[in-house]
Structure 1
Amino acid sequence: VQAINLTLEERVKTRTADLAMARERAEVLLTEVNHRVANSLQLVAALVQMQMRSVTDTAAKDALRETQSRINAISLIHKSLYTSGDVTNVALNDYLGAMLGNLETAMKKDGHTAILKCYLEPISLRTDASVNLGVAVQELVTNAFKYAYPGDKPGEVRVRLKRLDDGKAELTVEDDGVGMGLNATHAGTGLGSKIIRTMASALQTQVEYINRAPGTLARLVLTTAPA
């Protein structure tokens, strides 16, 4: 009996070691996949940049620039995955902070003078949901930069992410600009607004727009990863 027990223990140890090794190989492979996807998306963004430089139509340039920003937002997700130890969840404060920093730089290069301020609590979200949220936030902040302050008047765009009760989180994008009464682009029917609605639907939520007079606040509530 003792010999049988020893044999079973050895088999369990061997099986456990094999499973641990297989899991490690899978994690390494997934990290490499995320690395390659991020690099491929950066290449696509660079090609869009080249195309943007070759066109003279202002509307076409703007469309390509926004496309490039969307690609970069998704690329950052994969970059955060291969540089972190967690391939299933994304630290939103790090991801959104990096993405919004890049977006502010791009907006200022285009001549927009608003100042972006971020207040992001450390909250995690599953990877697929983080992609949807990142694209939605990208569109909301871009809209605020472009339309809240006509004539590139100075102002602020504020992004807040905070934890709520029952595993929820609240994301808001707020400005002190002209508001929705004079400018309905925030909740209009353009491509950006359609993208926002689609991303919110994928998150099983919706964006609430509040006319603050002055300014507009866009708010969405989502389910987060377990703390």
Structure 2
Amino acid sequence: MRRHFGQRLIVLLSLALVMLAAGAALVMVQGIDRQIDDVNRTYEVRNQARELTSALSEAESSQRGYLLTRDPSYLEPYHGAAASIDARLLSLSALTNGDPRQAERVKAIASEVVTKAAEMARAVALVQQDRGFEARTLIQTGLGERLMDSIQLALERFIGEENQKLLDRNRDIDQSRKLLVGALIAALAGAVLLAYTLLSRTQREVSALAQSKERLVTENEVLEARVRERTQALEEARGHAERERQRVEALLQDANHRIGNSLATVSSLLGLQLLRGKSDEVRAALESARSRVHAIASAHRRLRLGEDFETASADEFLGAVLEDIATTAGSDTKNVQLQGEFDSIVVGARDATTLGILVGELVTNAVKHAFPAGRSGTISVTLKRDQSGVPMLRVIDDGVGIAGGQLPADGGLGSVIIKQLAAQFGGDPFYEARPGGGLSVSVSLPGITGTSPPQGLSPGA
């Protein structure tokens, strides 16, 4: 206990001496800063006083030149110097605000300067009014010359007093600096002596600590070996989990691929049956069924799931569905251009399939009804959020439009399917004839949630 108390006392004394030295250094720095500020202020005061004298001399010289020659070229330097006089007086007043004595001197000088400026301005005005005799009479009184001599003398005294004050302040600061340097050296010497005493005690304790450290190193090596064993076990478990995840992902991809291929086979069988159909009504029904089965197959084959295996990104998924429609529709779309623009909206896997079927049904209806007899045009498909954040699906074509501008109340099977699919998302299709021809179908999808695309999408088959 006594040893620890002695060590703490030595540390406290050393800290006190170091703080004393730091305080002395801080006071020295502050003194130097004040000295620098005084030098700068004094230099600025003297500079402003000398520039005031120069401006007065230039104004008087230009004024006398104008009085003698009446040459207007003297007026420009005269007016410039007169304006500079006011600025110099304001600067001097601001610089001497903290010194009442010098402020009074500046005030007296300013009064004489104002009188001198008024005398010069009066003489110039008289000449400009063709009253040169009165101007010469005003100059011959000698008032302006006496004012100029008085102002110059006052400014020289003002500058001299500023110089003397600066010398006095520097002498006082130098004396204080010597005392502070002495205190700083003494404090540092005491701190060094105490630090040496503490060091000698500390060295004796270091040897004891070294032995304890050797024991700790041995125990640490044992702990590190155990940590390595646990880390290896965790890595093996993580690798097993990753392999299981990849296996599940492959199974999901294979399942989607098989479903899509099975539906594609059904679509092909319907196409074969379509070729054997005799009735136009039966052929039309088979063609509609084949198109819808193909749309479902495309939705399954093009589905790309995220790392959670439960969500997909609408922009990648729907873009792929449009490509499939354009590729497989054949002659129906050879003159029709399909365009798609989709936001990166996250949807569930089940909703993604339904959304793909809905888009396929809308696009197929547009191709079938809007562009009869090989008519060319464009179908634009967009999925974006409206102002309230609700996803809005729009399919717009520039085809023949709807007869009479209104959709029939008893729409066909396609209209019924579109309405039922939209209802699964809590929306309802809205048909609107476009002014320039064609049809716009808007479907609000409030049942879709998500604001960003899923991370780490895994490609489907």
Q: How does 1:190-201 map to 2 (within 5 A)?
A: 190-201=412-423
Q: Pick the aligned partner of 1:184 from 407, 416, 420.
A: 407
Deviations 1:89-143 (A, max 9, x none): 3443343334334434565624x77623313135243221122122222222222
- Structure 1 window deviating more from structure 2 (29-38 vs 149-158): it is 149-158
CA distance in 2, matches of 1:24, 1:165: 40
The one-letter code sitting in structure 2 at the alignment partner of 1:79 is: R
Aligned 8 A contact 1:180 1:216 in 2: no
CA distance in 2, matches of 1:19, 1:161: 37
Shift of 1:157: 2.6
What is the root-mean-square deviation of aligned Cα atoms in Å?
A: 3.3
SS in 1 for 2:339: strand
Residues 122 and 13 from structure 1, CA distance in 2 versus in 1: closer, same or farther, beyond 3 angstroms? same
Partner of 1:147: 369
Partner of 2:339: 118
CA distance in 2, matches of 1:31, 1:104: 24
CA distance in 2, matches of 1:151, 1:144: 13
SS in 1 for 2:302: helix
Aligned 8 A contact 2:338 2:379 in 1: yes
**How many positions carry a matched residue from both structures?**
224
Instruction: Work out whether 1:27 is the aligned partner of 2:249.
Output: yes
Question: Structure 1: where are the runs of 5+ without partners?
Answer: none
Aligned 8 A contact 1:77 1:127 in 2: no
Structure holding more helix per residue: 2
CA distance in 2, matches of 1:135, 1:188: 22
Deviations 1:67-87 (A, max 9, x none): 2222222222322247x7664
Shift of 1:154: 4.0
SS in 2 for 1:184: coil
- Structure 1 window deviating more from structure 2 (158-167 vs 71-80): it is 158-167
CA distance in 2, matches of 1:29, 1:150: 43
- Structure 1 window deviating more from structure 2 (121-130 vs 52-61): it is 121-130
CA distance in 2, matches of 1:93, 1:67: 26
Shift of 1:50: 0.9
Aligned 8 A contact 1:132 1:200 in 2: no
Aligned 8 A contact 1:209 1:217 in 2: yes
Shift of 1:210: 2.2
Partner of 1:49: 271
Aligned 8 A contact 1:140 1:173 in 2: yes
Aligned 8 A contact 1:69 1:103 in 2: no
Q: Pick the aligned partner of 1:36 from 258, 262, 286.
A: 258
CA distance in 1, matches of 2:316, 2:263: 19
CA distance in 2, matches of 1:117, 1:102: 11
Instruction: Work out whether 1:137 is the aligned partner of 2:335.
Output: no
Partner of 2:442: 219
In the superposition, the TM-score normalised over structure 1's length comes to 0.78
Deviations 1:5-44 (A, max 9, x none): 7476666545444333322221121122112112211111
SS in 1 for 2:275: helix
Deviations 1:159-180 (A, max 9, x none): 2233446764322111233336
Shift of 1:194: 1.4
Aligned 8 A contact 2:300 2:353 in 1: no
Percent identity of paired positions between Structure 1 and Structure 2 = 30
Residues 107 and 12 from structure 1, CA distance in 2 versus in 1: closer, same or farther, beyond 3 angstroms? closer
SS in 2 for 1:189: coil
SS in 2 for 1:53: helix
Aligned 8 A contact 1:179 1:211 in 2: yes
In the superposition, the TM-score normalised over structure 2's length comes to 0.42
CA distance in 2, matches of 1:15, 1:107: 49
